[in-house]
Amino acid sequence: MDLKLKIWRQASPTDKGQFVDYDVLDISPDTSFLEMIDILNDKLVEKGDDPVAFDHDCREGICGMCSMFINGHPHGPEAATTTCQLHMRKFKDGETIVIEPWRAKPFPVIKDLIVDRSAFDLIIQEAGYISVSTGGTPDANAVPIKRENAELAMDAAACIGCGACVAACKNASAMLFVSAKVSQFALLPQGKVEAKKRVKEMVAKMDELGFGNCTNTYACEAECPKEISITNIARMNRQFIGAKLG
Amino acid sequence: MTKIDSKIPEGPIAEKWTRYKEHQKLVNPANKRKIDIIVVGTGLAGGAAAASLGEMGFNVKVFCIQDSPRRAHSIAAQGGINAAKNYPNDGDTIYRLFYDTVKGGDYRGRESNTYRLAEVSNNIIDQCVAQGVPFAREYSGYLANRSFGGALVSRTFYARGQTGQQLLLGAYGALSKEIKRGSVKLYTRREMLDLVVMKDGRARGIVVRNLFTGELERYSAHAVLLATGGYGNVYFLSTNAMTSNGSAAWRAYKRGAYFANPCYVQIHPTCIPVHGEYQSKLTLMSESLRNDGRIWVPKKKEDVEKIRKKEIRPRDIPEEDRDYYLERRYPAFGNLAPRDVSSRAAKERCDAGYGVGPTGLAVFLDLKDAIARLGKDVIKARYGNLIDMYERIVDDNAYETPMMIYPATHYCMGGLWVNYELQSNIPGLFVGGEANFSDHGANRLGASAIMQGLADGYFVLPYTMQNYLADQIGVGPIPTDSSEFDNTVKDVQARIDKLMAVQGKEPVDYFHKKLGHIMWEHVGMARNKAGLEEGIKLIQEVRKEFWSNVRVPGTPKGINIELEKALRVADFLELGELMARDALHREESAGGHFREEYQTPDGEAMRNDKDFMYVAAWEYPGDDKDPILNKEKLEYEAIEVKTRNYKTA
């Protein structure tokens, strides 16, 4: 298949940036989206041009590194799919595809399609864990955990930290990301000890870093490649109010 | 032989680790603050070690190549993690886990290390549960287990098909806690390009390239831990992540560290088959599928033809015309035969002309019987995410038609040589996780990689590194302006300049793919003398062509992805040759290393214990000389060495 690409090119964080048009020809529908970009890049290198910079690593939908905003959707039009798992058979021959970086103030563009997502690390560093040290822990089966809770915790823990929720949100809110971590631990007995402190500190850090508020548009849930549910946000809000009340 | 000291503690195998800990040297809390440690890599081994060492009070600097420590490729481990908990009451013990791992490794690993791995396996599960890792549970609320290849017990703990992700996020949480506390300093988007070794022979630092600025940066420490993973991307196509590479280990080798058993590479039996020249990576379908999936190919060649031409569907082939070849050849273990055995059996069927799919390089993994027995919902709950992933990639529904799978490069048992303390022959250079060689012998069992990563990181290195550091407390801060640092930076700069200066015609991937083809063809699942000799020649040719015709655009300043790739491929082009040399010298078949000349009449691997029961630790003598072979003799005291048998229990 032949495609027209409109790709955001930006040389540096301070550069203004612009869309540049490229044609890619004779692409197999079985090619993945990133392989299609690889093919374009090989052509650019052969011409001595600067290849398109983009983040990617595992290419199996789990590392959370890939982050393209494709035709108006983070990770493209296919539901529950990261960019690296998107395949060209989902597009039409001759189609124009617009590719941008994540657009959100807390995720500044570094080059082309690469953004800086270290704000997510900072939120986790604030309190996104159970403060247990190595060693001296009780037997793993000492505390039974209701299967239903373990499953809900796993649903939340499946977040890959890609930032699609922030990119999808008109307010650049990180509520889905933060609430997934808060929920995972709130649902487990091990996480309860620090639950109040955790939710207060993570929310405060999220606000400090410039992420916006949640106005319940549900765009984050719709675009999340791991289908993290917005019920996590409701759970976090309950936790947060509970923590504030003491 | 004299050069190798594996430092295995005295005493019965079950007491060695306890004795070591009882007698090792410690550093008092006030002195720990004066000691710097560099950890390269934030996967399970590096992340867990950095967090644990930080908790203990050392100053840790941790480096990762991605934008966040949470993205290390440990995250992609799917199926599970082994431990000898014996929760299902099916007869598991630490000894049995140890025994299965040594046997699975075809008696080519170091017995004492493997025993320690089994010994600490239970602590890992306890640790992870305390961290809030949401392992699968039964309705009782207790932890669930499943089976993996090479074992007759269910000892694998799992978090759906995302076990590695959950364990890594646990370690990432622990690491984040220490970063906040200030004991660990995080450096992202840095790639280690060299190791700094001082005149007294000790490792004291690293040179990294800042992947954003392009600057070469110097970092010093009293000890360096490499946890940089495996070198499977030497094959170009593998299940590894795109940035997974062998350069940190290779640069350590070129600074004097021994590279052990580089030819031991695991080709994983259940991956999505290759479909085109533009393909960038291969995707694993977890081994856990073999719990319920039956592997088969048609018995009749005419059925093979009809399937390839799409005249019939796999489901149309009646039971009696299907060859469940693993169940046929290995009745005791069946579809749960170990990975090396299963991969070779798939290759054997495909080479004999029974392979399915458009290329003939695929076999079926069929969930039909399991769905009939357990219902679709149960199978969906167990493997739903894998089946969805399969559909996204190949556009086929595995509930309705069997999956097509084929072996692919997955894991490196070989790696930098380390002693019992996981210290290389360079004092102060420690190596953990897949990057070292020690625990899995010539083949690794499923669900044991993440076990080893966390064992090394949480429970071994924090002890053994401290033992080394105890006599370093008077050294003081290590300056980064010494002649050793200056010279190392100069070497790295020269390598970069040389690459930029080639200005040839072909992009880096062109050479990487060429190398990958050679490695797969000549140093792949089945090897022979002539093929390996030919392979070495071909690798040398590609290397020559690379250095005269590679094109790296742009400048070394700022982000330059082609330069990053070129540096890695330049190292792969050397490492690939050492793998072939190692495979050529090992005139036996063992685990993942199968030499066609050395097999039984029914096609099973034939070891030569008399001549090859040793670790091949290769030493770098300089560019123009052949690598030097050092041998660490393997002695088995706690286990009887036998021919591996998966036909009977």
> Does the pLDDT value for residue A224 go beyond 90?
yes
pLDDT given for residue B1 in this prediction: 44
Chain A residue numbers touching B380 (CB-CB < 8 A): none
Residue type, A35: E
Mean pLDDT calculated for residue range B105-133: 98
* Shared-domain flag, residues A154 and A86: no
pLDDT in tens, B219-242: 999 999 999 999 999 999 999 999
Per the CB < 8 A criterion, the answer to whether B95 and B171 are in contact is: no
pLDDT in tens, A54-77: 999 999 999 999 999 999 999 999
pLDDT in tens, A97-134: 999 999 999 999 999 999 999 999 999 999 999 999 99
Mean pLDDT calculated for residue range B280-291: 90
Nearest to B278 among A31, A62, A146 (CB): A31
From the options 2.60.40.10, 3.40.630.30, 3.40.640.10, 3.90.700.10, give the CATH code of B270-407.
Answer: 3.90.700.10
Mean pLDDT calculated for residue range B103-129: 97
Nearest to B132 among A57, A80, A188 (CB): A188
CATH code of the domain covering residue A137:
1.10.1060.10
Last residue of a domain, one of A82, A110, A138: A110
* Distance (Å) from the alpha carbon of B19 to chain A's nearest alpha carbon: 18
Residue type, A10: Q
User: A134, B143: Cβ pair inside 8 Å?
Assistant: no
* Shared-domain flag, residues A101 and A128: no
Chain B residue numbers touching A126 (CB-CB < 8 A): 180
pLDDT in tens, B558-592: 999 999 999 999 999 999 999 999 999 999 999 99
From the options 3.90.79.10, 3.40.109.10, 3.10.580.10, 1.20.58.100, give the CATH code of B483-633.
Answer: 1.20.58.100
Q: Which residue has the higher pLDDT, B274 or B228?
A: B228
pLDDT given for residue B148 in this prediction: 86
Cα atoms in the 13 Å half-sphere on the side-chain side of B375: 3
pLDDT given for residue B496 in this prediction: 98
Angle at Cα B173 formed by Cα B172 and Cα B174, nearest 5°?
90
The label of the residue with tokens 């009449």 reads: B601
pLDDT given for residue B150 in this prediction: 86
Mean pLDDT calculated for residue range B343-356: 95
Q: Is A215 on the interface with B (CB under 8 A)?
A: no
CATH code of the domain covering residue A83:
3.10.20.30
pLDDT in tens, B325-343: 999 999 999 999 999 999 9
* Shared-domain flag, residues A56 and A174: no
* Shared-domain flag, residues A127 and A229: yes
pLDDT given for residue A239 in this prediction: 96
Average pLDDT, chain B: 96
Closest residue in B to A161 (Cα) is B70
* Shared-domain flag, residues A133 and A208: yes
> What are the residue boundaries of the structural domains of chain B, listed by start?
270-407, 483-633
* Shared-domain flag, residues A128 and A236: yes
Assess: ipTM above 0.95. yes
Mean pLDDT calculated for residue range A149-168: 98
The boundaries of the domain holding residue A105 are 3-110
> Does the pLDDT value for residue B2 go beyond 60?
no
Nearest to B134 among A61, A137, A150 (CB): A150
User: A150, B212: Cβ pair inside 8 Å?
Assistant: no
User: A46, B551: Cβ pair inside 8 Å?
Assistant: yes
Report the percent of chain B where pLDDT is more than 90.
92
* Shared-domain flag, residues A151 and A193: yes
Neighbours of B235 (CB within 10 A): 26
User: B129, A129: Cβ pair inside 8 Å?
Assistant: no
pLDDT in tens, B477-532: 999 999 999 999 999 999 999 999 999 999 999 999 999 999 999 999 999 999 99
> Does the pLDDT value for residue B648 go beyond 80?
yes
* Distance (Å) from the alpha carbon of A242 to chain B's nearest alpha carbon: 21
* Shared-domain flag, residues A78 and A143: no
pLDDT given for residue B221 in this prediction: 98
* Shared-domain flag, residues A64 and A127: no
pLDDT given for residue B47 in this prediction: 98
Neighbours of A218 (CB within 10 A): 14
pLDDT given for residue B73 in this prediction: 98
Mean pLDDT calculated for residue range B541-549: 98
Instruction: Calculate helix-pair angle for A175-186, A195-208, nearest 10 degrees.
Output: 170
CA distance B151 to B446: 9
CA distance B618 to B625: 12
Report the percent of chain A where pLDDT is more than 70.
100
* Shared-domain flag, residues A25 and A47: yes
DSSP reduced 3-state for A8: strand
* Distance (Å) from the alpha carbon of B608 to chain A's nearest alpha carbon: 38
Last residue of a domain, one of A52, A83, A110: A110
Query: What's the number of domains chain A is made of?
Result: 2
Closest residue in B to A81 (Cα) is B392
Residue B253 buriedness (CB in 10 A; 0-12 / 13-18 / 19+): buried
* Shared-domain flag, residues A8 and A36: yes
CA distance A109 to A103: 8
pLDDT in tens, A11-59: 999 999 999 999 999 999 999 999 999 999 999 999 989 999 999 999 9
* Shared-domain flag, residues A79 and A192: no
pLDDT given for residue A123 in this prediction: 98
Under 8 Å CB pairs connecting chains A and B tally to: 219
